[in-house]
């Protein structure tokens, strides 16, 4: 499969390339960057040294059409709309890592992003890229939009609870902690500004809330409201979502285990974590770095009828590039784990 990557100078683009250079079914033919045309990839993404001699090129739709079966778009939010449309109109399969085609209606972009989507008729052509929820649609899709990192991590923990009508859907609270790489490769990630940090940002109306509400509402068949507050923390990679929900009925631990196993028992990239011994009883992003897993666990607060669904992932993997490769595998009929058979890195 001949593959191109549009916008590969940032963290997500670099992580996508890291996975693609070792993918057994893939040949990377074209990689674009506006500011690095003519430079070797490894000068911008040093981890690629010795794996490829490709150089960055300009964005050329004819070249992409002639040389690519699949194109990953890893450009900043708000700049993918025209690129994706142009590629779609040329019949190329697209896996978009921006937010520009994640939401299904134009009004949602006005609400969560503050701008009007210029191509609302293309939103319905996009499939939300979570194979655990939309595998059959992804198989047939030309355009897949990868989810936001906090959105996919929390949604996977909450989806079985919604599907089985276990929780009060008027009171769902998502508390997310995310590492500095989630902010991109800009100056805000400098060590002096991140060390020792537990910083709330966008504690109300964070844009990933729209994705979570969209996906859970589809499962429920009715409108679901979610309250989400993210925090920047002093790690480079990783997300922990503490999802506070309130049960409609009393449940035993074994009942909830059964529900999660029925939902995810056959899924290669979801691990259920709840240990009675040791320090690591619940999902911990430290033990997911470099992998495409999403770990899910839970605990009960009987006094308040509260079910705490915990989920963790590497924001650059399951939260971005890993999901993108997993989606490509599904779209193209490859083994879903192809190019993603990495155990987490420990220690980090």
166 and 282 share one domain: yes
In which residue ranges of the chain is pLDDT below 70? 182-192
| 345 domain residue, yes or no | no
| 347 domain residue, yes or no | no
| 293 domain residue, yes or no | yes
What does the block give as tokens for 114? 């503050």
Which residues, listed in sequence order, are joined to residue 200 by a DSSP beta bridge?
A: 231
Angle among Cα 201, 205, 209 to the nearest 5 degrees reads 100
Contact 169, 224 (CB under 8 A): yes
What does the block give as tokens for 27? 């040949």
CA distances from 345 to 80, 93, 153, 185 (A): 32, 32, 19, 21
Task: Give dist(CA 180, CA 195) in Å, integer.
Answer: 10
pLDDT at residue 197, as a whole number: 85
Pairing label, strands 93-96, 143-145: parallel
pLDDT at residue 188, as a whole number: 54
Count of structural domains, the chain: 2
What does the block give as tokens for 56? 């960055």
CA distances from 1 to 25, 28, 104, 149, 224 (A): 6, 8, 29, 26, 39
Instruction: Tell if the pTM clears 0.75, that is, is over it.
Output: yes
306: enclosing H helix or E strand: strand 306-313
Measured torsion, CA atoms of residues 83, 84, 85, 89, in degrees rounded to the nearest 10: 110
| 250 domain residue, yes or no | yes
11 marked as binding residue: yes
Looking at the chain, how many residues does it have?
348
187 and 275 share one domain: yes
3-class state of residue 174 by DSSP: strand
| 326 domain residue, yes or no | yes
What does the block give as tokens for 202? 């966008």
Task: Give dist(CA 307, CA 299) in Å, integer.
Answer: 6
Contact 160, 263 (CB under 8 A): yes
306 and 178 share one domain: yes
216 and 282 share one domain: yes
108 and 256 share one domain: no
What does the block give as tokens for 295? 């770990």
pLDDT at residue 180, as a whole number: 80
**Residues 11-31 pLDDT 10s:** 999 999 999 999 999 999 999
Site of tokens 């690129």: 83
CATH number of the structural domain spanning residue 117 = 3.40.50.720
Task: Show Cβ contacts of residue 278 under 8 Å, excluding neighbours closer than 6 positions.
Answer: none
226 marked as binding residue: no
Helix then strand then coil, in percent of the chain rounded to 5, is: 35, 20, 40
| 73 domain residue, yes or no | yes
Report how far Cα 31 is from the mean position of its chain's Cα atoms: 21
29 and 175 share one domain: no
pLDDT at residue 30, as a whole number: 97
pLDDT at residue 190, as a whole number: 62
3-class state of residue 122 by DSSP: helix
298 and 173 share one domain: yes
Task: Give dist(CA 35, CA 176) in Å, integer.
Answer: 33
88 and 176 share one domain: no
CATH number of the structural domain spanning residue 209 = 3.30.360.10
| 45 domain residue, yes or no | yes
| 346 domain residue, yes or no | no
206 and 309 share one domain: yes
28 and 128 share one domain: yes
304 marked as binding residue: no
127 marked as binding residue: no
Which residues, listed in sequence order, are joined to residue 167 by a DSSP beta bridge?
A: 247
327 marked as binding residue: no
- For the annotated catalytic residues, the residue numbers are 149
173 and 261 share one domain: yes
Q: What are phi and psi of 309, to 5 degrees?
A: -95, 120
Angle among Cα 62, 66, 67 to the nearest 5 degrees reads 115
HSE-up of residue 112 (Cα within 13 Å, Cβ side): 25
188 and 215 share one domain: yes
Structural domain for 281, as ranges? 150-313
């Amino acid at each position: 499969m001949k593959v191109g990557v549009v916008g590969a100078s940032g963290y997500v683009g670099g992580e996508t390339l890291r996975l693609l250079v070792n993918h057994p079914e893939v040949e990377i033919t074209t990689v674009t960057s506006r500011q690095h045309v003519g430079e070797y990839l490894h000068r911008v993404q040093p981890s690629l040294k010795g794996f490829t001699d490709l150089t960055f090129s300009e964005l050329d739709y004819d070249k992409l059409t002639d040389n690519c079966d699949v194109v990953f778009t890893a450009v900043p939010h708000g700049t993918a709309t025209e690129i994706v449309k142009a590629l779609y109109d040329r019949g190329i399969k697209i896996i978009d890592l921006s937010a520009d085609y994640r939401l299904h209606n134009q009004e949602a972009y006005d609400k969560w992003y503050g701008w009007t989507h210029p191509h609302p008729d293309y939103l319905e052509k996009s499939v939300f890229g979570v194979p655990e929820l939309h595998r059959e649609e992804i198989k047939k899709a030309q355009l897949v939009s990868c989810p936001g990192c906090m959105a996919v991590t929390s949604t996977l923990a909450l989806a079985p609870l919604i599907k089985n009508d276990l929780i009060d859907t008027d009171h769902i609270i998502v508390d997310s902690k995310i590492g500095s790489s989630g902010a991109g490769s800009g100056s805000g990630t400098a060590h002096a500004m991140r060390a020792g940090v537990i910083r709330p940002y966008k504690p109300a109306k964070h844009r990933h809330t729209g994705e979570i509400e969209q996906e859970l509402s589809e499962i429920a068949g009715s409108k679901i409201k979610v309250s989400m507050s993210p925090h920047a923390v002093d790690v480079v990679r990783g997300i922990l979502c503490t999802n506070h929900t309130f049960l409609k009925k009393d449940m035993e631990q074994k009942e909830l285990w059964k529900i999660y196993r029925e939902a995810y028992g056959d899924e290669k990239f979801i691990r259920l974590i709840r240990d009675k011994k040791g320090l690591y009883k619940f999902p911990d992003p430290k033990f997911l770095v470099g992998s495409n897993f999403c770990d899910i666990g839970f605990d009960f607060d009987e006094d308040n009828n509260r079910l705490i669904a915990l989920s963790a992932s590497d924001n650059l993997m399951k939260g971005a590039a890993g999901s993108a490769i997993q989606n490509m595998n599904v779209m193209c009929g490859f083994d879903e784990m192809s190019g993603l058979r990495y155990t987490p890195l420990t220690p980090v």
